[in-house]
A = this chain, B = another copy of it.
Amino acid sequence: MEHYINSENSKSSIVALLTDFGWKGAHYVASMKAVILKINPRINIIDLSHSVSPYSLIEASYLLKAAYPYFPKGTIFVSVIDPGVGTQRRIVVIKSSDDYFFVGPDNGIFPNALEENIELCYAVEDDFYFHKPVSHTFHGRDIMAPVGAYITTNVPLEKFGSVINPEDLTRIPIINEVNTKERRIKCTIQYVDDFGNITTTISVKKNDELTYHKSQGNIKLQKHQEVTIFVNDRSYRAKYVSHFAEVNPKSLLLMRGSTGFLEMSLNQGNAAEKLEISSGKIIEIQLSE
């Protein structure tokens, strides 16, 4: 790495790291931080999470979406969930409409996390900004970390590579269908927390209306209405409520979660274990009349 900058003239910036390296992979995270600090020692590095389930793009996307808006404008997010390392998958750098930066493989995490609010997008191609030698197996350390660090030194994004039309970015295949006539929902599970609470990809407004494409009409959930959940060739009864305590212990419930998505939980229990669900799973929900 030959191109250090004068730390006195660089501004203090935040780089946040999101990986699936796990607790035992801390030394990989540390080597990314080392490369970043070599380029700009004044960067404040924050761990967003390293507990993403291995290779789970949808879970990483959910965590990024839930956390990034709380950071100061200008924060740079380096996201290394990279099952495609070693293949010809692209690495991209993105500026969002709300003035955050994102660096990582073009694997669908960013368009989903940013809800398509992408202002600028470039391929990461110019190896001037890479850490040499570039390994075959760890582009997080050798490409994504240094590119994230160089953004703090005011390198214009177009220096990293050729422009990409945001519409050409890879998308995570998310199923998110609301059939208003049959009052039936089909959706992907995007996150399961430590307590077994299950977050779907279905947005719910504060007035309990489901959010989806306008032309399809409208569904508003009624408090205490019963629903049937179909998963793994089995079905379960659940109730739409505002608080856990509105259903009996060990009973299933649906509610609007703190991130605005429809969530499933088991009062005083673990819904994910009961339903045998992990992130990425597709479920269907039949609303009653």
Residues of A within 8 A of B (CB): 7, 12, 14, 16, 22-27, 29-31, 33-35, 37-38, 41-42, 44-51, 63, 66-67, 70-72, 75, 131, 135-138, 141, 193-194, 258
Q: Residue A67 contacts which of B27, B67, B75, B194 (CB distance < 8 angstroms)?
A: B27
Min C-beta distance of A189 to chain B, whole Å: 15
Question: With A12-B42, A30-B16, A44-B41 in contact, do A258 and B24 touch (Cβ < 8 Å)?
Answer: no
- Nearest CB in chain B to that of A21: its residue: B194
Min C-beta distance of A36 to chain B, whole Å: 10
Which residues of the other chain, B, contact A46 by a CB distance below 8 angstroms?
A: 30, 33-34, 37, 45
Docked complex Cα distance between A136 and B206 (Å): 13
Q: A16-B34, A27-B63, A135-B258 are in contact. List 10 more A-B contacts (CB 8 A).
A: A23-B23, A23-B51, A27-B67, A30-B46, A34-B46, A34-B72, A35-B70, A37-B44, A38-B70, A41-B72
- Nearest CB in chain B to that of A141: its residue: B70
Question: With A37-B44, A135-B258 in contact, do A49 and B70 touch (Cβ < 8 Å)?
Answer: no
Indicate how many identical chains form the complex: 3
21 contacts between A and B (CB under 8 A): A7-B12, A22-B194, A23-B51, A26-B47, A26-B51, A27-B48, A27-B49, A27-B67, A30-B48, A30-B67, A33-B46, A34-B67, A34-B70, A34-B71, A34-B75, A37-B71, A38-B70, A45-B46, A70-B131, A137-B258, A138-B258
B37 touches A49 (CB 8 A): no
Question: With A25-B194, A37-B14 in contact, do A31 and B66 touch (Cβ < 8 Å)?
Answer: yes
Which residues of the other chain, B, contact A47 by a CB distance below 8 angstroms?
A: 26, 29-30
> What 4 A-B pairs come out closest when comparing CB atoms?
A34-B70, A26-B49, A34-B71, A31-B70
